[in-house]
């Protein structure tokens, strides 16, 4: 599942860091993710994995790291690509 | 009104709070009808767009003067901004992303003689707007926004810079609530400089705003608020803004005591505008903060509190307004 997550981050997160070099627990906001970019990432993840983030998950920390995104998708029953 | 988290976005001042429109129901329509009957506001046929009487404007002038008196101690640079801005400003402030449903841009006719016949025919059937094209102009969403491009690339001095801004703004949110107008005025006091000083500016103006509104006889309180960011993604932005308490609204009853209306808002923008417009403070990005007094809303709160007949208003209030 990480590969599509990293691809989406590469396309939508506008990070200063190289996505390929990010660790699972690297802080994406520290790496340059802005709030608006996190919205773009959220919408792209929903399209990619055919899920909808519920209101309680629409928080900054849901998109704070690759690990956090993977956990959130797992909670939503997303199918590994 | 303005704000942002920002990461966020900035929004507005003086503005917004509860959800709009008709479900507001009777108390809103009833107060608007009273204002119409008294001639203070004159309907145009469009909800949220009203003509204002000289009497209404005399209240606004009094509020403007009272705010300017408070701002004068900071010796701000004073600007008066028009309603129309370069449309690109809406993009640079992130308003296109944050509030696409509230913004507006201007179209005009640009097809010359060749298309004029089609335009005339369209005018007959009311479809003429389809023959207009984007002009590159937009409507200002928050009074302080035109300020930031003027500072782009300039070095902000260590003590920061202070500005007082008179501006008109547009928000596309038609409503029967007379406090939710589509074109209204904001009187802002803005600081650009060091992060701690920007936060201190915001906090100081929350207190000054509360004090002014209380001297005007309003029942007002300060509450943490968020801007009406668009859509589900906007919930992320709103949650951030609230978690960091970046937007403080001063709320007072207008049409409802249970659901008071934001009449003034004080906002920490953090580095939102500093980053977007390249505002430098030494080697750092400058922060900014603003307070926005919503002039129509304060005037309406005064009318709701003290009645539509000015002669019965308390002497202390009249004095505060310079009457």
Is A16 an 8 Å CB contact of chain B? no
CA distance between the termini of chain A: 6
- With CB atoms and an 8 Å threshold, state whether A36 touches B235: no
- With CB atoms and an 8 Å threshold, state whether A53 touches B232: yes
B64-71 LR contacts (CB < 8 Å, sep 24+): B64/B166, B64/B187, B64/B295, B65/B321, B65/B322, B66/B212, B66/B216, B66/B320, B66/B321, B66/B322, B67/B187, B67/B189, B67/B212, B67/B293, B68/B164, B68/B187, B70/B208, B70/B212, B71/B164, B71/B189
Partner residue facing A43 (CB), from B98, B233, B235: B233
Residue A17 maps to a domain? yes
Number of A:B CB contacts under 8 A? 43
- With CB atoms and an 8 Å threshold, state whether A35 touches B6: yes
Residue A41 maps to a domain? yes
Q: Distance between CA atoms of B198 and B241, rounded to whole angstroms?
A: 16
Residue numbers of chain B with a pLDDT score lower than 70: 1-25
Q: Which residue of B has its CA nearest to A40?
A: B233
Tens digits of per-residue pLDDT, B144-181? 999 999 999 888 999 999 999 999 999 999 999 999 99
pLDDT at A35: 85
Residue A81 maps to a domain? no
Selected residues 95-114 of chain B with any CB under 8 Å from a CB in chain A? 97-98
Q: What average pLDDT values come out for chain A (81 residues) when binned by 10 residues? A: 87 90 93 90 94 92 94 86 48
Residue A30: domain span: 2-75
Residue A80 maps to a domain? no
- With CB atoms and an 8 Å threshold, state whether B236 touches A60: yes
- With CB atoms and an 8 Å threshold, state whether A35 touches B5: yes
**Residue among B301, B277, B274, B298 at smallest CA distance from B285:** B274
Q: Which domains does chain B have, with CATH numbers?
A: 22-103+141-320 (3.30.930.10), 107-137 (no CATH)
Q: How many domains does chain A have?
A: 1
What's the token pair of residue B41? 């506001």
The CATH code of the domain that includes A47 is 1.10.1200.10
């Amino acid at each position: 599942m990480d590969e599509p997550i990293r691809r989406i981050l590469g396309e939508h997160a506008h990070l200063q860091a190289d996505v390929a070099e990010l660790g699972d627990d690297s802080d994406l906001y520290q790496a340059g993710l802005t709030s608006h970019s996190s919205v773009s990432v959220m919408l792209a993840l929903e399209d990619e994995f055919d899920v909808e983030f519920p209101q309680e998950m629409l928080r900054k920390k849901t998109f704070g790291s690759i690990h956090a995104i993977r956990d959130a998708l797992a909670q939503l029953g997303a199918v590994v690509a | 009104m303005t704000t942002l988290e920002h990461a966020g976005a900035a929004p507005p001042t003086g503005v917004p709070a509860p959800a709009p429109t008709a479900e507001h129901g009777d108390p809103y329509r009833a107060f608007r009808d009273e204002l119409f009957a008294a001639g203070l506001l004159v309907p145009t046929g469009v909800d949220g767009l009203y003509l204002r009487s000289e009497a209404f404007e005399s209240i606004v002038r009094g509020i403007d003067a009272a705010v300017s008196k408070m701002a004068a101690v900071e010796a701000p640079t004073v600007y008066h901004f028009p309603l129309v801005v370069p449309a690109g400003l809406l993009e640079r402030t992130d308003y296109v992303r944050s509030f696409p449903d509230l913004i507006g841009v201007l179209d005009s006719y640009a097809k010359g003689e060749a298309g004029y016949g089609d335009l005339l025919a369209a005018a007959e059937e009311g479809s003429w707007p389809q023959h207009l094209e984007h002009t590159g102009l937009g409507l200002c969403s928050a009074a302080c926004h035109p300020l930031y491009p003027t500072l782009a690339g300039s070095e902000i001095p260590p003590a920061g810079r202070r500005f007082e801004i008179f501006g008109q703004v547009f928000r596309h949110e038609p409503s029967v609530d007379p406090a939710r107008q589509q074109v209204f005025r904001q009187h802002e006091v803005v600081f650009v400089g060091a992060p701690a000083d920007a936060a201190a500016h915001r906090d100081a103006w929350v207190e000054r705003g509360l004090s002014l509104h209380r001297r005007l006889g309003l029942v007002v309180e300060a509450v943490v608020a968020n801007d009406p960011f668009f859509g589900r993604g906007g919930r992320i932005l709103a949650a951030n803004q609230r978690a960091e308490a970046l937007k403080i609204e001063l709320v007072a009853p207008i049409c409802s005591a249970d659901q008071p209306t934001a009449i003034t808002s004080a906002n920490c923008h953090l580095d939102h505008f500093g980053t977007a417009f390249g505002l430098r403070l030494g080697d750092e990005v400058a922060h900014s903060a603003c307070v926005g007094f919503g002039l129509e809303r304060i005037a309406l709160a005064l009318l709701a509190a003290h009645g539509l007949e000015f002669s019965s208003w308390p002497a202390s209030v009249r004095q505060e307004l310079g009457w």
